[in-house]
Structure 1
Amino acid sequence: MPVKHAQPNLSQSQVCELMKRLYNLTAAEMRPLPSYDDQNLYVAPCEGGEFVLKIMNSEDSKNTTIIEVQTRAMSFLHQNGLPVQTAVPTASGQLMSLEEMDCGYGRQKYLVRLMTYLHGVTISSVPSTPKLLYQTGRTAATLDEVLQKMEHPHLSILERENFIWSLSNVSLLKGYLNVLDGDPLQEAVKSVITQYEDYVIPKRPNFRKCINHGDFNDLNVLVQPDDNHGYKISGILDFGDMNSGYYVFELAITIMYMMIEHPDPIQVGGPVLAGWESVFPLNQDEKDCLYLLVLSRFCQSLVMARYSVTLHPENEEYLMITSRKGVKILQRFWELGKKHVEKVWFQHAAEFNKTMNKDVN
């Protein structure tokens, strides 16, 4: 996000006024929720119900069409049985409203949506059992398969050509590498980018295309206790990084983020991959590139977190959540090498599928 003061910071009284004017609701309770560059608030009105008020940053608010497509995608996924938030219409029937307000940086326009509230805790806060990781892979693949059936007149807007978070655009990280000056990590990131360009790009024509959620991370997946003393996925949040990509990109993103809180990150790939392939089996070129795509996503996450801290030093703690553990994982996986990591992942996936099939039969 290029503009330093783009993140909204509405006061309690401004939020109450918005809720009343747009939704005819009286905010009885509210509390902030984490966000990368927007303002998210839990709101419980006197009239009943629980909601999330999402106020987009002023830069992203300029592109109302892409937000409209994301909002439609959430409704479509919800209609197809996935646990996704949906937008609540305003009193005049709109799913979003562009509001001009002053949060201390002068008057700016912010896009406002009221979303349904999903219960659960983030998957990062519970033990990552193989069964839960399998379910995560399966859910991510199902989500992409459902999105392929969605129709909208502006779907082409998801071809986000220079979108820094797309795994098609790993080479764009070169423009941000100066944030790692003096850090030994810089050399590893440069090497990953080079291997991506030499190895992944030539194979990309054989990847199967789809629409990616694009940020299937450990803070965007909610879980609740299930009936077997474990957990089940109860919510998928944040469609702000949706873009046209490839199935294998979503899988790589999912594996990478599920590693962050795991005590033994190499154990994550197998069950996530098994769950994914129970819905959408990979072809050979997709399999060959999975290791480098996971490393590429680590590089995107680490470099862009450092860059964001230069813009928002006050938000460093949240911005660096992934980065602190991610640096060690990236370096470890780079040292282990493609052959070793792939062997572990694909063997574990095969073993896991056998046990799952036994359980079903």
Structure 2
Amino acid sequence: MTAASTAPSLTAAPPAFSPAEALALAERTFGRTGRLDPLTSERDLNFRLTTATGDSFVLKIGNAAEPAEVSEFQTAALRHIAARDPDLPVPRVVPALDGRIGVPLPGGEILRMLTWVEGHPMHRATSSPALRQSLGATAARLTRALEGFEHPGADHELLWDIKNAARVRPFLPSVTDARLHDLVALWLDRFEAEIAPALGDLPWQVVHADLNPFNVLTDAEGRTVTGILDFGDMVCTPRICDLAVAASYHADPARPLDTLAEVVGAWHTVLPLTPAEARAMPDLIAMRMVLTVVIAHWRAGLYPDNAAYILRNVPASGAGLAALTQAGRDTARARVAQILEARP
């Protein structure tokens, strides 16, 4: 199995358009012009467009390796969310002048425009009980808003999808730190033997699947979630994978179970966990940490010029995985069970 066949959109280079070319596309397609500022992205080309009146938008040029159906899936989901929970702070789709919400380009890329969501990047905020609880509650609202949403693109294969965690094993050699390598290998063995076979017992639906601190915005004080960005990793999977992703970046190595419980407890208040979800929760959090470590190391080797950005979440995920492993699966499950008892 080659890297390209495993994750073509993760191995294909991002679109190559100059700011001038992108601005011309925005004016011709959406009737909007102004100042363009580049935004970071793993596999697409994104810009912030600020008009003369001060309005801001996100101009997105999707990776040509990603099927058009996946782009359509993302914009349809944003429309579904807007209808189900209009107050959720997510981007809104901006139609083109001809009414289309995704415009194919000659190279196979898909051009889209979304509204700009104001806020401060969560990765710059200090994690706190208030922020973790706000994240858990907002993530649950988002997942609840996506209930019932169906689309042909929902079944696309995504390497970041926790249910596909076994597929990263070929990339394990890219993790050169011996202790981290062995820890990741331990969890991959557990996933294949115990975790994956139990996923069928969980409720499934379309989820955001990438609530990492670079995709979440907060208020100026860093206490409340004010925005959720980047719906490019949406997929149909066990619904608590959204919770697992969000919580995985907030495990304080000094007290991992207490900090994770704040995220999980707030989620449970909005979208109650089933007993099977509660049992699986600690394992799925650990598996998201595994994916972060392995995929980031692998991709940093492919794109050394962008390695700093690609590896940005690895230190926290590695430390969190070690702390969660040391705490023990039985202890972690008992802690989640306490949450269910306290908040039925």
Q: TM-score, normalised by structure 1?
A: 0.85
Report whether the alignment pairs 1:66 with 2:66: no
Kindly indicate whether the alpha-carbon contact (under 8 Å) linking 1:270 and 1:346 is maintained by their aligned counterparts in 2.
no
2:191: which partner in 1? 196
Cα 1:56–1:72 change in 2 (3 A) is same
- The aligned counterpart of 2:79 is 75
Match of 2:263 among 247, 266, 272: 272
CA deviations over 1:228-279 (Å, ceiling 9, x no partner)? x76322211111111111122221111102338x875443211111111112
SS at match of 2:273: coil
Q: How does 1:93-112 map to 2 (within 5 A)?
A: 93-100=99-106, 108-112=107-111
Among 160, 167, 170, the alignment partner of 2:165 is: 170
Secondary structure of residue in 2 paired with 1:253: helix
Match of 1:43 among 40, 49, 70: 49
Counterpart amino acid of 1:72? A
2:179 partner letter: P
Q: Which amino acid aligns with 1:71?
A: T
Equivalent residue in structure 2 for 1:9, among 16, 20, 29: 16
Shift of 1:284: 2.3
- CA apart distance, 1:198: 2.3
Look up the match of 2:238. Answer: 246
8 Å CA contact 1:252–1:290 kept in 2: the answer is yes
* Alignment partners' CA distance in 1, 2:304 and 2:136: 34
- Confirm or deny that 1:159 pairs with 2:151: no
RMSD of Structure 2 on Structure 1 (CA): 2.3
The residue number in structure 1 matching 2:4 is: none
State the Cα deviation string for residues 27-51 of structure 1 (Å, max 9, x = none): 2x22112211212111112355111
- Which amino acid counterpart does residue 30 of structure 1 have in structure 2? L
Q: Rg larger in 1 or in 2? A: 1
What is the percent sequence identity of the aligned residues? Answer: 25
In 1: Cα distance, 2:176 partner to 2:121 partner: 33
Q: Report the Cα distance in structure 2 between the residues aligned to 1:72 and 1:342, rounded to whole angstroms.
A: 36
Aligned-partner residue type, residue 22 of structure 2: V
Residue deviations 1:278-307 (CA, integer Å, cap 9, x gap): 122222222222111111111111100011
Q: 1:263 to 1:122 in 2, by over 3 A?
A: farther
Q: 1:303 to 1:211 in 2, by over 3 A?
A: same
Alignment partner of 1:218 out of 213, 217, 222: 213
Superposition deviation, residue 92 in structure 1: 1.3
Q: Is the 8 A contact 2:119 2:218 kept in 1?
A: yes
Preserved contact between residue 50 and residue 117 of structure 1 (Cα < 8 Å)? yes
Contact 1:96 1:112 in 2 (8 A): yes
Deviation at 1:172, TM superposition (A): 0.8
Q: Does 1:124 align with 2:130?
A: no
The match for 2:30 among 3, 18, 23 is 23
2:288 paired residue number = 297
Establish whether residue 52 from structure 1 lines up as the match of residue 52 from structure 2: no
Q: From the superposition, tell whether residues 97 and 156 of structure 1 become closer, same or farther in structure 2 (CA, over 3 Å).
A: closer
Please state if 1:315 is matched with 2:295.
no
In the alignment, residue 36 of structure 1 is paired with which amino acid? E
| 8 Å Cα contact 1:25/1:46 also seen in 2 | no
Distance 1:94 1:39 in 2: 19
Instruction: Answer yes or no: is the 8 Å Cα contact 1:271–1:348 preserved in 2.
Output: no
In the alignment, is the contact (CA less than 8 A) between 1:31 and 1:41 conserved in 2?
yes
Of 320, 332, 335, the match for 1:329: 320
Q: Deviations over 1:299-337 (max 9, x none)?
A: 111100011112211111110010122222212222221
> Which amino acid in structure 1 is aligned with residue 321 of structure 2?
L
Q: CA deviation at 1:149?
A: 3.0
Q: Is the 8 A contact 2:256 2:323 kept in 1?
A: no
In structure 2, relative to structure 1, the CA distance for the partners of 1:267 and 1:124 (3 Å cut) is farther
After superposing the two structures, state which structure 1 stretch, 14-23 or 175-184, moved more.
Answer: 175-184
Give the residue type in structure 2 aligned to 1:331: A
Query: Which of 87, 93, 108 is matched with 2:93 structurally?
Result: 87
CA distance in 1, matches of 2:22, 2:68: 21
- Asked if structure 2 preserves the Cα contact closer than 8 Å seen for 1:134 and 1:272, the reply is yes
Question: What are the ranges of 5 or more consecutive residues in structure 1 without an aligned counterpart?
Answer: 101-107, 355-361
Distance 1:143 1:47, change over 3 A: same
Helix, strand or coil: the match of 2:50?
strand
